[in-house]
């Protein structure tokens, strides 16, 4: 059934609606953004660079991975390559949104893409699925979500000295916790479970052998290839 | 790494991140990725996330540790179980952080 297009909401109503829809995202972004802000400061990044990363990159898990790499003294090339691998999943989100944003101007699409995160994708996909395609609401959600991420980062930068190393507040769990929560949403098929098991296993092996830097990245890409192989093998079996 | 180099690195990170987010939206209009590429990409998130999570959970201090003292690992298992059940994102992270903070408060570490 084709949803009936609704007339665009007045500006203030669009903002109000976006605020209530974005609240659950902001409740997560503020504390995790704080964790990032605190840890990035400890890793030796300047307060300005810590904030700029939240404004320009705006990718929670990639930013927390980068903090670990900055602290370990990784090269710029390793940081950029790892960020690319961690964010490669966004290609799928972007491809999934493309047919839903027909009629948007190129620069509106460009702005939308800048703020396409795991959480905003999940929210927009659900909204569009129930026929709620209002452009102003969509744009406000993106702006408000990023504002909460940058705001959380600023809080973390400001509170960094008060919180010490953050271990008492379990800030060091924020990153593995995010990986696990994202991973749980990616295990829809057996071949994806196989990809996760091989990627995780190879990564542990690489770390055990002292292969750092590109180790996890290579393990992830080989693991994805293993998953693809399992999928091909499963679909070739006579049922 | 000095501040200027760090900034250039951040700019590079922003560029590759934006490429993943904007590529299909800006250049795919009406077309689709080759099926083989889509099938490979469908397996990348699970494999890469697991590859990042496994050492973070099992080598939190830089050496393998699956002992009861590794609170990150055990809290991670609880958070992962909750995430599999609810498909929620921040609930599991909050649960894990709460468990780790509580364990350190009551047992030190």
User: Comparing A126 with A145, which gets the higher pLDDT?
Assistant: A145
Comparing alpha-carbon positions, the chain A residue that sits nearest to B55 is A204
Residue A55: CB partners within 8 Å, gap ≥ 6?
A146, A150
**A180 and chain B in contact, CB less than 8 A:** yes
**A231 and chain B in contact, CB less than 8 A:** yes
pLDDT digits (tens, 9 = 90+) for B41-71: 888 888 988 998 999 899 988 899 999 999 9
Q: What residues 37-96 of chain A have any CB closer than 8 A to a CB of chain B?
A: 44-46, 48-49, 52-53, 56-59, 61-62, 65-66, 70, 73, 76, 79-80, 83-95
pLDDT of residue A176: 86
pLDDT digits (tens, 9 = 90+) for A129-178: 788 899 999 999 999 999 999 999 999 999 987 877 778 888 888 878 88
Asked whether the ipTM of the predicted complex exceeds the cut of 0.95, the reply is no
pLDDT of residue A5: 58
Taking Cα atoms as reference points, which of A42, A74, A157 lies closest to residue B5? A74
Taking Cα atoms as reference points, which of B7, B63, B64, B41 lies closest to residue A66? B7
Do the Cβ atoms of A208 and B97 come within 8 Å?
no
pLDDT of residue A10: 73
For residue B22, which residues of chain A lie inside 8 Å, CB to CB?
94, 109-110, 113-114
In the predicted model, what is the mean pLDDT of residues A63-82?
Answer: 92
Whole-angstrom distance, CA of residue B59 vs CA of residue B78: 18
Positions in chain B short of pLDDT 70: 29-32, 109
For residue B2, which residues of chain A lie inside 8 Å, CB to CB?
none
Averaged pLDDT of chain A: 88
In the predicted model, what is the mean pLDDT of residues A52-78?
Answer: 93
């Amino acid at each position: 059934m084709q949803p009936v297009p609704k007339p665009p909401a007045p500006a203030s109503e669009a903002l109000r609606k976006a605020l209530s829809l974005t609240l659950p995202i902001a409740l997560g972004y503020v504390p995790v953004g704080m964790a990032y802000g605190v840890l990035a400061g400890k890793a030796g990044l300047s307060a300005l660079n810590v904030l700029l990363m939240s404004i320009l990159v705006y990718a929670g898990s990639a930013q927390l991975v980068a903090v670990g790499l900055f602290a370990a003294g990784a090269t710029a090339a390793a940081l950029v390559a790892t960020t690319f691998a961690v964010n490669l999943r966004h290609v799928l989100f972007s491809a999934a949104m493309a047919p839903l944003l027909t009629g948007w101007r190129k620069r509106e699409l460009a702005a939308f893409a800048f703020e396409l995160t795991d959480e905003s994708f999940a929210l927009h996909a659900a909204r569009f699925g129930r026929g709620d395609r209002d452009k102003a609401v969509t744009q406000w959600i993106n702006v408000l979500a990023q504002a909460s991420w940058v705001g959380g980062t600023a809080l973390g930068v400001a509170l960094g000295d008060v919180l010490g190393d953050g271990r008492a507040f379990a800030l060091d769990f924020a990153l593995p916790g995010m990986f696990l929560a994202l991973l749980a949403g990616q295990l829809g098929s057996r071949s994806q479970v196989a990809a996760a098991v091989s990627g995780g296993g190879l990564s542990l092996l690489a770390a055990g052998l002292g292969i750092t830097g590109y180790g996890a990245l290579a393990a992830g890409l080989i693991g994805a290839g293993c998953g693809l192989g399992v999928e091909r093998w499963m679909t070739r079996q006579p049922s | 790494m000095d501040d200027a180099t760090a900034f250039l690195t951040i700019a590079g990170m922003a560029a590759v991140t934006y490429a993943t987010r904007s590529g299909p939206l800006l250049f795919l209009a009406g077309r689709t990725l080759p099926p083989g590429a889509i099938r490979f990409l469908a397996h990348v998130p699970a494999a890469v996330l697991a590859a990042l999570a496994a050492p973070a959970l099992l080598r939190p201090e830089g050496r393998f540790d699956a002992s009861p003292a590794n609170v990150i690992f055990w809290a991670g298992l609880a958070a992962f179980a909750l995430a599999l059940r609810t498909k929620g994102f921040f609930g599991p992270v909050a649960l894990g952080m709460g468990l780790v903070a509580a364990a350190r408060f009551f047992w030190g570490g």
